[in-house]
Structure 1
Amino acid sequence: MIILFLVGLFVQWRLRSKFSEYSQIPLSSGLTGAEVAEKMLYENGVSDVRVLSVEGQLTDHYNPQDKTVNLSPDVYHGRSVMAAAVAAHECGHAVQHKVAYGPLQFRSAIVPFVSISSQYMQWILLAGILMINSTLIPLTIGVSLFAVTTLFSFITLPVEFDASKRALAWIESRGVVSQREYGVAKDGLKWAAMTYVVAALSSLATLLYYVSILNGRSRD
């Protein structure tokens, strides 16, 4: 648990470091992140998705509910390799939505349940620990809810890796980046993906911890 926590901190630091470094490398094609996004959406036949600018740093995301690609100011207005890579990655999710990519559909389907689980599971787990000597029901429910959030974390992995794969293939084939810039973009998206890997492993480790508590009490 502690090791994963430290690894998570390192990955977050490394991502911010890479983002800052690669945001200083100008894109040879001269496109802004917003222009890259619009171009990728158009060339993939996605006509019902808007590209918006949202406040914050590393707040870039695709919202399948209102069909918007939301880019942070540095990405939306930026003309760097990192801006292009991030913009294309988020559009990769929009393309996944258009082609009904299985893992994305499944993840979207369980979002409402995950939201409810995340809202209440910590309180239920706490109640389960406090009541563990009298009943295992609350802890069992809490562990079940946590298992759903862990499943969500692992479903997210193929969704993120596939979006990056689509993004990199497109920016290379359309000449948005040079050969050198392609390597930079690939490295930046790799570190972004690592944050999801660490989050999934951390969630799994925590789940196994609670499962061990539950199994230990059930044998008593």
Structure 2
Amino acid sequence: MPFYFFYDPTMIFILIGLVISGIASTYVRSTYSKYADTRNNRGFTAWEVSRSILDNSGLRNVVLDRVPGNLTDHYDSQNNILRLSDATYNSTSVAAIGVAAHEAGHAIQDQENYFPLRLRSTLVPVANFGQGISFPLIIAGVIFGGNQSLINLGILFFSLTLVFQLVTLPVEFDASNRAIAILDQQQLLTPEELDQARHVLRAAALTYVAAAVASFLQVLRLVLLFGGGRRND
């Protein structure tokens, strides 16, 4: 197999993607840590805030559950379960409340049949399949005399990951916007605390932007390496 498949000048795209992702991850951790020690004045726990948001949105059927870990919070649309991590569940910090409200925002999206959320759910198995089959197809195309059809098909399947990342962006931004609006409307946080929660959610959103940029750079690298049919000689 040609050496360029493992290393070539376009590897810089992968390195750039890793650096961007690393910076975004570091930023969200530092921002979360900064406000993880800031207790909200009303003494609400993240669980109480989540329950209040869900109940006031007519989502009493959504179960609140606890899962191990830190920042493992997520909404399970298939089972109507909002899962809060150990670090979030009973925390009274502004950071934890922001995260919990964000996940409640996903539950509200689900209730309203928010199209980007539905589209993302549909794309999950498709993107996973595409990511799994893409490189075997590209490798097979290279091995079998530079079969451009197989190579292009592999690139196309890998591009589904980028599509998934792009669809994820409006889903996450919308959930954060809903969270901030509801926290304000229900007066669950003071104006100062609301601004702090907004900082946490904006930082978290950057990780999704970074993931989309990294996926784009990976697709670009594959196109530059294999998309032009240069390997037939």
Provide the TM-score with structure 2 as the length reference. 0.88
Identity between Structure 1 and Structure 2 (%): 34
- Which residue in the other structure is 1:171 paired with? 183
| Structure 2 letter corresponding to 1:8 | S
Please, which of 95, 100, 108 is the counterpart of residue 95 of structure 1? 108
- Which residue in the other structure is 1:82 paired with? 95
Stretches of structure 1 that go unaligned for 5 or more consecutive residues are none
Task: Tell me the distance in 2 between the aligned counterparts of 1:144 and 1:85.
Answer: 37
Structure 1 runs of 4+ off > 6 angstroms? none
2:17 is the counterpart of 1:4: yes
Task: Indicate the SS of the match to 2:146.
Answer: coil
Superposition pairs of residues 1-80 of structure 1, within 5 angstroms: 1=13, 2-80=15-93
**Cα separation, partners in 2 of 1:22 and 1:121, compared to 1, 3 Å:** same
**1:218: Cα distance to partner?**
5.6
**1:70: Cα distance to partner?**
1.2
| Structure 1 letter corresponding to 2:164 | F
Task: Indicate the SS of the match to 1:53.
Answer: strand
Please, which of 130, 137, 140 is the counterpart of residue 124 of structure 1? 137
Number of residue equivalences: 219
Which has the greater radius of gyration? 2
What is the root-mean-square deviation of aligned Cα atoms in Å?
1.6
Stretches of structure 2 that go unaligned for 5 or more consecutive residues are 1-12
Task: Tell me the distance in 1 between the aligned counterparts of 2:42 and 2:92.
Answer: 9
**1:129: Cα distance to partner?**
4.1
| Structure 1 letter corresponding to 2:65 | L
- Which residue in the other structure is 2:7 paired with? none
- Which residue in the other structure is 1:159 paired with? 171
Task: Tell me the distance in 2 between the aligned counterparts of 1:123 and 1:35.
Answer: 48
2:206 is the counterpart of 1:190: no
Superposition pairs of residues 201-216 of structure 1, within 5 angstroms: 201-216=213-228
**1:110: Cα distance to partner?**
1.9
Task: Tell me the distance in 2 between the aligned counterparts of 1:21 and 1:92.
Answer: 23
Task: Tell me the distance in 2 between the aligned counterparts of 1:5 and 1:123.
Answer: 23
Task: Tell me the distance in 2 between the aligned counterparts of 1:199 and 1:119.
Answer: 18
Task: Indicate the SS of the match to 1:78.
Answer: coil
**1:66: Cα distance to partner?**
1.3
**1:134: Cα distance to partner?**
3.3
Provide the TM-score with structure 1 as the length reference. 0.93
| Structure 2 letter corresponding to 1:171 | L
| Structure 2 letter corresponding to 1:41 | L
- Which residue in the other structure is 1:138 paired with? 150
Task: Tell me the distance in 2 between the aligned counterparts of 1:90 and 1:149.
Answer: 23
Task: Tell me the distance in 2 between the aligned counterparts of 1:30 and 1:58.
Answer: 21
**Cα separation, partners in 2 of 1:112 and 1:129, compared to 1, 3 Å:** same
Does structure 1 conserve the Cα–Cα contact (< 8 Å) formed by 2:146 and 2:229? no
